[in-house]
């Protein structure tokens, strides 16, 4: 074997062994820190996929920020669907544990969100399978928080927490007085 062939062989071996290290490290980083997800459907319109004629929005889901199951009202989150564990859904957090929520179409008109749960809803109420269908969601189903829209380029932006008008927990002091 020539000296040049030996050098090429060493280069190939170094490259392949680097892949064996890089791939698991990359998968671990993406699993623990963040990954991208395609948002399909109309349930989060107009916040996500505002124009159904365009491609779907692609968002960055921050997994690190929810590692301790900490979310706030108004966050857009990805959760494992309570109806289909093979599917992840993206919805807005409307209420946290202990909050009283006025539901839109749930079996009870008012719900107290139990400990270890939160209430999620799509922004387009008529087109969303959310807590109004299946009730409060366990924080254990939380998968990530949408932090940025990264595609299409004209929609690139940070996603800030916000509650739609007339949604959110009831103000118990106001309701009692």
pLDDT at 52: 61
In terms of phi and psi (left: phi > 0; alpha: psi -120 to 50; beta: otherwise), the region of 69 is left
Q: Same domain, yes or no, for 90 and 131?
A: yes
Query: Which residue in 56, 95, 77 sits closest to 146, CA to CA?
Result: 77
pLDDT at 51: 77
Q: Same domain, yes or no, for 81 and 150?
A: yes
Q: Same domain, yes or no, for 85 and 21?
A: no
Tokens of residue 166, six digits? 């007339």
Q: Same domain, yes or no, for 116 and 135?
A: yes
Domain range spanning residue 131? 34-171
- The answer, as to whether pTM is greater than 0.75, is yes
| CATH code for the domain in which residue 51 is found | 2.10.109.10
Q: Same domain, yes or no, for 38 and 28?
A: no
Query: Which residue in 61, 51, 11 sits closest to 154, CA to CA?
Result: 51
In terms of phi and psi (left: phi > 0; alpha: psi -120 to 50; beta: otherwise), the region of 41 is left
Tokens of residue 136, six digits? 């409060």
Would you write out the chain's pLDDT as a tens digit for each of its 177 residues? 677 778 788 877 877 777 777 777 777 766 677 788 889 888 999 899 887 666 789 999 998 888 887 899 999 999 999 999 999 999 999 999 999 999 998 888 999 999 999 999 999 987 889 999 999 999 999 999 999 999 888 889 999 999 988 888 887 544 444
Domain count, the chain: 2
The answer to whether residues 61 and 33 touch, using CB atoms and an 8 Å cutoff, is no
Q: Same domain, yes or no, for 55 and 28?
A: no
Q: Same domain, yes or no, for 27 and 38?
A: no
Of 91, 128, 131, 147, the active-site residue reads 91
Note the residue count of the chain.
177
Active site residue 43: yes
Q: Same domain, yes or no, for 14 and 73?
A: no
pLDDT at 133: 92
């Amino acid at each position: 074997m020539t000296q040049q062939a030996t050098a090429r062989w060493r280069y190939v071996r170094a490259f392949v062994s680097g892949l064996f290290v890089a791939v698991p490290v990359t998968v671990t980083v993406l699993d623990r820190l963040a990954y991208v997800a395609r948002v399909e459907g109309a349930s989060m319109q107009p916040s996500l996929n505002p124009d159904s004629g365009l491609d779907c929005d692609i968002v960055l889901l921050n997994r690190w920020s929810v590692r301790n199951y900490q979310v706030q009202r108004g966050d857009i989150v990805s959760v494992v669907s309570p109806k289909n564990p093979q599917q992840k859904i993206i919805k807005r957090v409307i209420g946290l544990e202990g909050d009283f929520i006025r539901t839109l179409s749930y079996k009870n008109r008012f719900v107290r969100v139990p400990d270890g749960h939160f209430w999620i809803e799509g922004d387009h109420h008529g087109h969303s399978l959310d807590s109004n269908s299946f009730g409060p969601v366990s924080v254990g189903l939380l998968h990530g928080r949408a932090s940025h829209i990264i595609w299409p380029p004209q929609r690139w932006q940070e996603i800030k927490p916000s509650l739609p008008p007339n949604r959110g927990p009831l103000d118990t002091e106001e309701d009692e007085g």
